[in-house]
Structures are given as C-alpha cells and as structure tokens.
Structure 1
C-alpha cells in the first residue's frame, strides 16, 4: 500500500522541493494551501491540491479528513499555535515534521547542537507577533510545542535548517550574489571575506524532512545544512565556478565601505559572528548532503532561466563602484 503525505504549503520554495522528493520516493502527495501562489503541480495528476487556510482549524481538519495522511510536512507553521493545532489534529500520523529554523537557537556558539545549545525564549506577545525580530523566538516555541506533543504520544519532530538556498528561492538572497558574479568582473565582499553563515541546499532540506518523518525519533530536533561550509569569499568563487566565469572578490573594510555610506550588514548573507549548525545527528539517520559544486550548478542554472536578480538586497552598484575606486587608490 502506498504511503500518503500531506504537505502544508507545497508550492513555493522548500515546499515544492519537498513534494518532488516525496514523489521520487513513492508517496501519494496532497498539498494544502490557500492557492495564493502559482501551483507548479497543477498539471501533475499525481499531486492533489486541497485549498484552505492552515490557520483556519476547520479548513485544516477538512484537509486531514480528505487525506488521512501517513506523513505530514508542515512548511508554513510560523506561530507556536500553528504547531499545537497541527500536532493535535495529526496525532495519529506516523510522522509529523515541523520546519523550524537555526534562528531558534538563543545563544551564539560554534557549532550549535540540538541537545546542547539553548533555544530562544518566547513571550506571549512574541508568540503572536509577525515581525522579523520575533521569528527565532516563535520558531523555538514551535519546537517546544513539538516536544510537548511527543510527550503525549504524538510522532512529532522538528527540522532546523540554516539559511536555505537553491532553485526557486523567492527570497532572492543568493540571487543577488549570483547576479553580481554573472554581470561584473569585480565584486565587493565586506570585511576580510572570511565571515561564515551556514547555508543549506534546498533539496537536502527536502530529503531531511522526509528522512526525519520516516526515521526520526519523536520529540527530537534535527539540524540541516551543507556538510561543507564556505566563507563569503568562497561562496562567490563557487558561484563563479558554477557559472564557468572569472570574478575578483574584493575585500572592503569599514573605512572603504563608509566612503559610499555602506556597512558590512548592507550586503545580504553577511553575518559578523559565525552561524554553524552541527548536522551529525541528521547524518546518523542516513541523510547525505549534495556536493556543493553540484548544488551551486543547479542553483545558478535555474537562476539564469528565472527573472530574479536579488535587486531588493542590492546596496547599489554605484555605491559599490565608489568602494572599488577607494580601494584602487590604496
């Protein structure tokens, strides 16, 4: 008998890769969302679409009754109450997996480990707030909801990705850097280029979610990220290699950036303190990450066919040129 999977979300970025991964592994898949975004599986008869709002308990219950899934992958639980409702409703599923985040960790240490690193605290006010500042606390409280559900006998687990990149990434964070590499010979890299922000290839996140649903322990959380980490300068070089082009990564310190009224934080994916997740716990379940060069080749290829350029993250090429001009006079 074929296993059934319900993907809450399922059409934009991580969710669409989750659907592809589940299909590749023989699942019958249903996606549940509001239908506000283009459905890439609209013409795929192997994927059923149930329309509804995950924050409407009646809609979610109707989806559960129509599918009665073996596995539930929850891609759009942004509030702790979302997780509490879902773990109650899908208490009889073989596996409920909540997408948490590396942002759930509340202290800075290298690496961050599931069993050892403290999670963010979350106040009642933060639990219902939708700002960027409360994202980590909300995700952490969602984790605690998973742990509580598991104590009540629910097969609930959490997966904590770091920054996710790959094809169809609507956040366009990496698209900014790809666009720079494809269109310019010289790219400003803030600082000394050695800052480190762990990233996770989206197909690896998708496979992690399935593997945790199948093999994970209830009440446990699992980090996911590339097994090979790269600095910001190395990231630019990997992009250039994937695009079969040459680029010069030019380091710019505080003084040089200030000449163009810029700061290091104006460059997307810059993080002063390293953010690194230990992924050994996930690997012990049999998960493997895609080789970095292969992951970036797929990412760059899809970027070249899309209309994303990361311009919303652009500090301004004219400002960047001013920084380069200052550096050239040193």
Structure 2
C-alpha cells in the first residue's frame, strides 16, 4: 500500500502578513493549517464544550490558571516558547494538587514571522500536551505589525480538577516539614542567558522545561499528607520559598551543601555575579511534606525521570525574623530574601 500523500499546503506565504490577522480566507488558512490541523480541537464553535468523569466526583473542584510567555529567544536548547507555554500552565495546576485536563492557547504574532517557525512551535506544544496528558481545546490568533511584539507571544490558560479531600496550599505547612526539590536548580535561566549570545558563553546546558503533573501525582500517592508545592519559575527557588514561608508563618532553613547545582551553572553565576537561587526553572518544583513521609516522597520522585535528582534542601522551623535563611558551607547563616527587580528579563 502506498503511503498517504501529505495534504497540499493552503498557505502561499512563507511569512505571516497582516492579512493573516484580517478575518478572511488568509486568516482561516493560517489557523487551519498551522493550528487546528495539529491541535484538533473539539467542534468549530467559539468555545470548547467539555466533559470529564472526574467532574462528577462528589467534592471535586475546578482549578483554573492563566499565564503569558514572552521568552527570548523563541527556541533554545531543551525547549521553545511553545513547549514552555504548555509546561508552565500544566505545572501551575499540578502544584496546587489539580489534575490538568484542558488548555487554551492564544497567539500574538508579529508580521514577518516565518510560518515554518510557527509550525515548529505548534508541533512542540502538541507533543508536550500529549506527553502531559492534556488537550489544547480552544484558542485565538492575532497578528500585529512589525515591531508590535517580538516574534510570538503565547498565552495559555488551563483547567484541571482537584479531587475531593486534597488540600495543597502554603498555610498547610507545619514546623518540622521538610522541603524537597525534584532536580537541579537554575538550568533554564542559565540556558536562556547563554542562548542569547550576548556574552559569548559556550555551555552544554539545556533548559529543564518539563511538565510535572505525573511527578506531583506520584508524590501525593507516596506522601498523602503533602502540605504544599510551588514551581520555582521566575525568581527561582529563593522567591518560591519566601512566598510559601510568608503564607505559612514559618521560617525555612536551607542547607547550602544540599542544593543541587551543576558546575556549569555555578561557574556562570560566579563569572556574572548572579545568585543561582534566583535563576528561573521551568521543570523544578519544591514540595513540603511531613518529615515522616520524606523518604517515601523522595523514592517516588527518584523513580521518575523528572525527579531522579530529587533531594531534601531544607526544613520549616518556628518563624524567626526572616522567612528564609541558609546555613552556608562555612557554618554561618545568610538571609535569602525575595528577588528585588529581575536578574534576567524575558525568561519565560
């Protein structure tokens, strides 16, 4: 049997023009060939009409989140803005205890953007959505004139279901709980910095961009009294811990010797005067569990590729004068404050 011939392209242009945002045939051809032929949303109405068995469970709650992505460059080692948009929204749902189900995706596209680039980004989104077990079910596109945006901006919103009885939130953290991270810190921020090429840095680093919903479910199964979790994106681990500690009314004591950092990330930070605790991550979370369940949580994480570098990095203690402190390798302590300003803009 002969292989099925590929469908002929409906697009005559190789780059996006303002006509592709004008509401006519050119726009329809762009949407159908680049987006809907890949995402296969249900129906053709202006809204997705959805049902899932988990919504029928007594006590189940909907979780809803939204995020915009403006990273530069659009493609980087380990990922791209499309993969990032899926992972970021899936992870925002997962760390709150939700099981992600559906995503929307809205694109703002600069005139002149290569259609081949758009197709790569959309294909990347579709692969990551399939890997995470979610569906991209609705969306929108807008085209702006040259200089109106920087290539492509993507906004994704996500809906998930929180099962009955699951309460994952910062106020649940108790004194004595331990903080666990699932992997090395700072890879995404360091990768983006190197990919911009401004500093002529050469490094084999790749972004840690990945969806963490399967990891989070494994932790919750192994450590049913898991208190809270947060993905350490902009502002890095330091900012995530400060937010959690402030809401919980505790102080978190970090152990510098336990922090999982690659030699390349540490070296880059030393050269540029950056603190790796504030570098963004896109596939790293911190979770607080009771000390008695810590080993079970670690084992569950390490059994998955997304958590094989999991390690305990700190502990919640009675509230002191600051939310987060770190015991240094020299035996002293230093304050780990919230990030002031931004170490590196356009990171996600």
TM-score w.r.t. length of structure 2: 0.28
Question: What is the TM-score with the length of structure 1 in the denominator?
Answer: 0.29
Higher helix share: 1
The structure showing larger relative contact order (alpha-carbon pairs under 8 Å, at least 6 residues apart) is 2
